Amino acid sequence: MRNNSVRVIALAAALPLAALTACTTTDPSVTQTTAAGTGSPAASSPASKDWFDQTLYDTQNQQRSASFEGDPEQPYLQYIAGAMTDTSKFAAQGPQKVCFANASISNPWRQTGWITMNQQLKALQGAGVISEMETRDAKDNDNTQIADIDYFIAEGKCGAFVISPNSTAALTQAVERACQTGKPVVVFDRGVETKCATTFIHPIGGFAWGIDTATFLSEKLKSGDKVVALRILPGVDVLEHRWAAAKKIFEEKGIQAKDYFTGADPTEIKKIISDELATGDVKGVWMDAGDGAVSALEAFEDAGKALPVMTGEDEMSFLTKWKQTGIEAMAPVYSNFQWRTPLLALEKIFKGEQVPTEWVLPQKPILADELDDWLQRNEGMPSGHYAKFGGEDLDGYPEVWQQRQIP
């Protein structure tokens, strides 16, 4: 008996430990950004924070139809006209070393971007702009990334910093410390709560995504129809913004939307859809990121039900399935080509050319009439590839992306 109780105690003591390890593995599945799961207050109290922000909603709503400066053939260099940063003090001679603090490469979106970024790096190395890029991967951990940035600062060999923050609040001070070195700092993807960066590069944003997708579904469906919203996890601002906007629109249009957190786990997604199909008809599926879109559709197929109207993402697996099944769908895009922009921005900065202080990149969804075109342009690409990766003109295209060797 004593033996037993000792074991039970051991298990009880170990549960939180193992739960913690399980928790950290939850994070990688976030598309776009990262999981704030490891210690960000936002993640631990999703209900206490109202993510809807009318000002931001209105701004992004307008930006959806804004005109972009620059060549549409090079969307990764386009931006919305606005305040510019004078970078003459950063003008530099000869190739510079770039230090990149990356949140992670733990999802297909980040991996695709990372491959593109490396090809862009090679091009700029060849052009004598960048000597080398030292990258530290924070593996979805705020603390690791803060340490990474401090390591770069202490090392003192960085000609410029590129930071893709793991979470907004936690990384703010580390980014400020990088700014204090007097070197250019480029922040991209997710933001931080400081304006000190030379440029902050990002596509329009989560509200625009939510508006595009929810408007599409509301137009295709009738008031009273049921939509299942599949969300990856709570507490990540980009994802929460997508849902906040979509939820508002669904409520206005009388669409019954029921949201679930899936952790991007296809097993969960299938169970959720199966259960929902057992309770009644599901007319639409909304996703805050396309990872797992195929599983959602398979659940309809397996249950023998009519396929839904759906919004996924520009991931090849979804585009292919969309084409195969002929469903009514759209693919919102969180522009993957933004991974090229930080290095190209540095090229300008090292020349002392102005760059937008907030560099808002185009974010244009793929609609049904463009589907064939995007499938054709990405023929032979693997299922985790993102159609709008924007690296067609780089060396190594298409083999590097087709073989998907992570650098």
Partner 1 sequence: MSTALNSERSAILKQNRASRSERLLRAVRTPGGAVFVLLIGLLAAIMVLNPSFGEPSSFIRFVGRTAPIAIAAIGQYFVIVGGEFDLSMGSVVTMQVIVAGNLIGQDDAKVIPVLVLMIVLGAFVGLVNGLITTLLKVPSFIVTLGMMLALLGLVLYWTGGAAQGNPAASFRQIGRGGIQDVPVLDIIPYPVIILTAVAVAAFILMRRPFGRMLIAVGDNPAAAALAGSSVWWVRTRAFIMSSLSATVAGILLVGYAGVHPSVGRGYEFTAITAVVLGGVVLGGGRGWVLSAAAGAFALESLFTLLNFMGVQATWRDTVQGTIIIIAVAAASRSWQRKRKGASSAAHDEQHQLAATPTPTEGTEQGGERV
Residues that bind partner 1 (CB under 8 A): 1, 3-5, 7-8, 10-11, 14-15, 17-19, 21-22, 25-26, 28-29, 46, 104-108, 110-111, 234, 260-261, 263-267, 269-272, 274-275, 278-279, 291-292, 294-295, 298, 302-303, 317, 382-384, 404, 406
Our CB check for partner 1 shows the closer of 234 and 390 to be 234
CB of 260 to partner 1, least distance (A): 5
- Secondary structure (3-state) at 324: helix
Our CB check for partner 1 shows the closer of 260 and 397 to be 260
Our CB check for partner 1 shows the closer of 263 and 365 to be 263
- Give the 3-state secondary structure percentages of the chain, helix then strand then coil, rounded to 5: 50, 15, 35
CB of 174 to partner 1, least distance (A): 23
CB of 333 to partner 1, least distance (A): 18
CB of 43 to partner 1, least distance (A): 11
Q: What is the DSSP string of 96-150?
A: EEEEEEE----SHHHHHHHHHHHHHHHHHHHTTSEEEEEEEE-TT-HHHHHHHHH
Q: CB within 8 A of 46, min separation 6: which ones?
A: 234, 235, 240
**Do the beta carbons of residue 287 and residue 230 sit within 8 Å?**
yes
Our CB check for partner 1 shows the closer of 104 and 144 to be 104
> Which DSSP letter does residue 331 get?
B
CB of 268 to partner 1, least distance (A): 8
Residue 18 to residue 391: CA distance in whole angstroms:
41
Residue 175 to residue 189: CA distance in whole angstroms:
14
Token pair belonging to 46: 């999703």
CB of 149 to partner 1, least distance (A): 21
List, in sequence order, every residue forming a beta bridge with 259; answer none if it has no partner: 229
Residue 51 to residue 251: CA distance in whole angstroms:
16
Our CB check for partner 1 shows the closer of 75 and 108 to be 108
Our CB check for partner 1 shows the closer of 4 and 67 to be 4
Look at the block and give the residue holding tokens 């906040």: 244
Our CB check for partner 1 shows the closer of 266 and 396 to be 266
Token pair belonging to 186: 């480029």
CB of 305 to partner 1, least distance (A): 11
